Structure 1
Amino acid sequence: MDQLGSLVGAFLLVFLAEFGDKSQLVCMTLAARYRAFPVLLGAVAAFAVLNLLAVAVGSVAATWFPREVVLSVVALLFLWFGVQSFLTQEDDEEESETLSLKSVFLSALVMIFLAELGDKTQLAVMGLASAEPPVPVWLGATLALAMTSAIGVIAGRALMR
């Protein structure tokens, strides 16, 4: 794939995988209670860092191991994550009632970062970065997550009305 194809592919994969995911619900919940801009900024900052980590790991793994091995490991991890999500019951109750950080930006950043660390999307970005140019993969994934976060923030603000 070329640079633009890698960016668009990463964007579409991540956008579709994250639409309606827990990070979007966190953005909705926080935006319903706090100002929208710091929530969105915190979420985007968290995703930018998470995607940078995933791209770095994927790119490094691609130089150390054959492509087939990296993609197989990512596929197995992705499958394991899917099975685990079906087997475990998550508590849908948000912990936003007891925010310990005073800054809404930091609260959003920390909540999103911890919720998404090692998530299926991060594994997908890692796999893409092992096979495609890392910068467009990072940019496409980060733009997709910024968009899903913005949709969550807008929905949260609308619920507040």
Structure 2
Amino acid sequence: MEEMNLSMLHAFTKSLAMTVLSEAGDRTFCISAILAMRYPRRSVFLGCLFSDIAMTIVSALIGWAAPNLISKTLTHHITTFLFFVFGLQSLWGGLTEDDDDNEELTEVEKELDADLKANTEKSKAASTGDEDLKKHQKPILTHFFTPVFLKAFSLTFFAEWGDKSQLATIGLAAHENTLGVVLGGITGQAICVVAAVLGGKTLASRISERLVTVLSGGLFLVFGITSYLSPPA
């Protein structure tokens, strides 16, 4: 029992650290910050948080199932390789990219502005139609969730899909305590979402993307080294 608790704590700590360093100041962080400036914070917070929770659980389940689909030894080697790749990639990016900490924020803001403009034009065009017809054609999900919640959820989910943090979560769950990885990932995501929603654009613009990238790269390399030195479970 004690060994299981230690295993869960170890997985929780690694997942928490990895998530915070991977998500702080990244694309989804900027999405949360900008949306919170334009829409009700509660809906943005819930949409982003539930999206991150769903993605963390899906990723952890994929990692948990991986050793059952291919050999544990191969899973271990793939995970170790990915940690080294992510670490070196992050370090290289952090040390060689231009020192423009607002580049990600500016890019996301432009995309959201274009999306908002397109939606506004559609709304104006639809306003000339029959209101009753629009109500009948309204997507069923909007009867249970607000449009802002759905917008925040979908933008965050698809921004996370295939992201480095998702693949890292899969790798962690493949040879760490799955529950610990899930709890650590969700806690880390919640911390980042709260910071983004409350801090808004100001906090997002002040986070040093280069520093966070270098730190996350170092953390991934540490994960890679510990994974390499430890035998397959």
Give TM-score scaled by structure 1 length: 0.83
Inter-partner Cα distance in structure 2 for 1:141 and 1:125: 8
Matched, 1:46 2:61: no
> 2:107 is matched with which residue?
92
Greater shift in the superposed pair: 60-69 or 105-114:
60-69
Aligned pair partner of 2:188 in 131, 139, 144: 144
Give TM-score scaled by structure 2 length: 0.59
Aligned pair partner of 1:25 in 30, 37, 46: 30
Inter-partner Cα distance in structure 2 for 1:6 and 1:74: 15
Inter-partner Cα distance in structure 2 for 1:158 and 1:92: 15
Inter-partner Cα distance in structure 2 for 1:92 and 1:5: 36
Inter-partner Cα distance in structure 2 for 1:80 and 1:124: 8
Q: After TM superposition, what 4+ stretches of structure 1 lie above 3 angstroms from structure 2?
A: 74-78, 80-83, 99-102
1:157 Cα deviation from its structure 2 partner: 7.3
> 1:67 is matched with which residue?
72
> 2:154 is matched with which residue?
110
Q: Structure 1 93/8 Cα, relative in aligned 2: closer, same or farther at 3 Å?
A: closer
1:139 Cα deviation from its structure 2 partner: 1.2
Inter-partner Cα distance in structure 2 for 1:17 and 1:157: 18
> 1:10 is matched with which residue?
15
Unaligned runs of 5+ in 1: none
Inter-partner Cα distance in structure 1 for 2:172 and 2:155: 25
1:66 Cα deviation from its structure 2 partner: 3.2
1:158 Cα deviation from its structure 2 partner: 6.2
> 1:55 is matched with which residue?
60
Identity among equivalent positions (%) equals: 28
Larger Rg: 2
CA deviations 1:32-54 (Å, max 9, x no partner) are 11111111111111111111111
**SS, match of residue 92 in structure 1:** helix
1:111 Cα deviation from its structure 2 partner: 0.2
> Contact 2:27–2:108 at 8 Å: present in 1 too?
no
**SS, match of residue 118 in structure 1:** coil
Inter-partner Cα distance in structure 2 for 1:31 and 1:158: 12
1:92 Cα deviation from its structure 2 partner: 1.0
> Contact 1:74–1:123 at 8 Å: present in 2 too?
no
The one-letter code matched in structure 1 to 2:180 is P
CA RMSD of aligned residues (A): 2.8
**SS, match of residue 2 in structure 1:** helix
Inter-partner Cα distance in structure 2 for 1:133 and 1:27: 29
The one-letter code matched in structure 2 to 1:130 is A
The one-letter code matched in structure 1 to 2:154 is V
Inter-partner Cα distance in structure 2 for 1:93 and 1:142: 23
